[in-house]
Amino acid sequence: MAMAMQQINKHFSLRLIVYFFIPILILSLLFSNVPSSAVEITDIEFIGEATIPTGTTLKNTAVGGLSGIAYDDIGQIYYAISDDRSEKAPARLTTLKIDLSQEVLKESGAAPVGVTFLLDKDNQNFARGTIDPEGIALTGRGTAFISSEGDAGKLINPFVKEFSLASGQEIVSLPIPDRFLPSSGGDRGIRNNLAFESLTITPDKKRLFTATENALIQDGSEAKSGISTNCRILEYNLSNNQLEKEYLYQTEAIKPLINLTGRYAQGLTDLLAIDNQGHFLSIERAFTGLGFAVSLFQVSLEGATNIHDTDSLLSLETNKVTPVRKKLLLDLRKLDVLLDNIEGLTFGQPLSNGQPTLILVSDNNFQKIQRTQFLAFKLKTKSPSLLQQLLRGITPR
């Protein structure tokens, strides 16, 4: 009888392990791969506009050309990068205050408060024409990465470099593959003024992303009326500062109804990482002859093909490359606002109830007929369900 009871207890213990402990082990393994805090924007509401007139100066430097912007939530200050090529003044950061204390942005709600000049590796101001700064992303350790488009016509390479926010001193330069560098024959590399316009770092500060505004020469056509362009998103690992992945981002094909001037320009002007799982907001801006068309998209890298080892997209069959996924969040032409040359975006200071905000900024090109424009929005967000997170955690992107 005792022997029989021992056998029963043994079988019961085995069943307990199989039915209880093993499922717990499996779930723990699944949860270890579950992405944390994936985010989706569910609603966006315009809450105001502010402008800084062209001709405004601070510390004897022109305020303008603001192509990228980032918010420091500790210092409660905004850093914007001017795309002045050290022509009107040395290349520089502009610090700004943007007032959302009344839950709206008023016309006079944005003001420049400081200027920091960028210094190269030799501790000198960047020489005239050697830099075209466009994007900025804060690291959270008193520094910022800044992207420059270079100058394809003069064979000046684009770059992504880290600078001290306090001194402006260059700290480190990220490696750029040869396929992005301008060539003397004009048969490969970036197009002039259509290179690293965007820059963002994930909230956990582990990954940096930049992107070309238009296609590399060997990747296809630049954007034209009614024709999209093949941009590349670059993903860097900030633990070793190495480029690890690249993705295809295809812009919308925009064809203006009327174009009296014959001028047209369109491209990807900025990215903003909204979580650590490969989800972003993007700005696509087009000049259509009669004004600007600006659209905000939600972007996902999930399922996109890694094209890091592909030198030319034209060498591949199009059905073998899956681009990043996009979903229109807002066509800014629907706002009751005269749009300027919107190029940069950042999360702003949260509202008093904790609701997140989004700030967009325009590059006035230092033209009197334009102005530096700030647009503010409040956002509603949600995270995916536990099941969705589990599925994402076990599905490679």
For residue 249, pLDDT beyond 50: yes
pLDDT at 263: 74
Residue 32 banded pLDDT, cuts 50, 70, 90: very low
Residue 261 banded pLDDT, cuts 50, 70, 90: low
pLDDT at 37: 64
Report the C-alpha gap between 324 and 335 in whole angstroms: 27
CB 143 within 8 A of CB 116: no
Averaged pLDDT, 36-56: 92
For residue 3, pLDDT beyond 90: no
CB 375 within 8 A of CB 359: yes
CB 159 within 8 A of CB 147: yes
pTM beyond 0.95 = no
Strands 77-82 and 66-72: antiparallel
pLDDT at 395: 41
pLDDT at 36: 54
For residue 2, pLDDT beyond 90: no
Q: How does pLDDT run across 314-373, given as a tens digit for each residue?
A: 998 878 899 999 999 999 999 999 999 999 999 999 999 999 999 999 999 999 999 999
For residue 27, pLDDT beyond 60: no
CB 254 within 8 A of CB 225: yes
Q: How does pLDDT run across 105-150, given as a tens digit for each residue?
A: 999 999 999 999 999 999 999 999 999 999 999 999 999 999 999 9
**352 contacts: CB under 8 Å, gap ≥ 6:** 103
**366 contacts: CB under 8 Å, gap ≥ 6:** 54, 62, 64, 65, 84, 88
For residue 18, pLDDT beyond 60: no
The answer to whether the Cα torsion of 338, 341, 342, 344 is positive or negative is negative
Averaged pLDDT, 378-391: 67
For residue 386, pLDDT beyond 60: no
pLDDT at 149: 98
